[in-house]
Chain A
């Protein structure tokens, strides 16, 4: 199972929007509506930000939104804030044999 493909980095100024893509195949991203997104600050554990493509856990700001089209999922951060600067990883369910695969990760920089 190959890692899902994400851009290495994206950047934006405070208040702007950025979108991170996550490209897989019909065996993972395209085959299920089970994409989740995790935020990771340096030296910290990942934190769940989005699940089931577009659902937000309690406590996650509504600036974070998710979507999917075909084999590509996306995470959009609207109204970018300094504290959003972190690494972001997508993860998809990929069937019962090797159930989960992560993306390569994207560093978000707030200019």
Chain B
């Protein structure tokens, strides 16, 4: 079945970087964008950006420009999200979610279970 399996929880110190992975299975990896969405404790969902696994092209939310890098390894159907210069307010659950690369498709139909990233000194 279609699933996105994310890497385990991370604890990082302020100023460090974190890299979260999202392994896709059950579908053609290159046929779907991979989006990253985060949710701080008790807060709402926040779109961070997306990567086209086919081309490697990315779009990032302005808020994260310069701090986030999204990459992929098509040989293992895995997408990555790296966030640098971590601050305490980056403490959140980070989700990956797929979105079909088809003109006029704009919804995320499968989500990973989330990766908790805690930033604390």
Residues of A within 8 A of B (CB): 1, 3, 32, 34, 36, 38, 40, 45-48, 51-52, 57, 89, 91, 93, 96-105
Contacts and interface: CB of A to CB of B under 8 A. Distances in A.
A52 B45 contact: no
Interface string B46-79: 1100100000000101100000000000000000
B45 A46 contact: yes
Nearest to A47: B111
Interface of B: 35, 37, 44-47, 50, 59, 61-62, 95, 97, 104, 106-109, 111-114
Contact of B107 (A3, A51, A98): A51
B35 A45 contact: no
B95 A102 contact: no
A102 B47 contact: yes
B95 A89 contact: no
Given A89-B44, A98-B62, A102-B44, 14 more contacts: A40-B45, A45-B95, A46-B111, A51-B109, A52-B106, A89-B45, A98-B61, A99-B50, A99-B59, A100-B35, A102-B46, A102-B47, A104-B44, A105-B45
22 contacts: A3-B46, A34-B106, A38-B108, A45-B114, A46-B45, A48-B107, A48-B108, A52-B106, A52-B107, A89-B44, A89-B45, A91-B47, A91-B107, A91-B108, A93-B106, A98-B47, A98-B59, A98-B62, A99-B106, A101-B47, A102-B45, A105-B44
Contacts of B35: 100
Contacts of B62: 1, 98
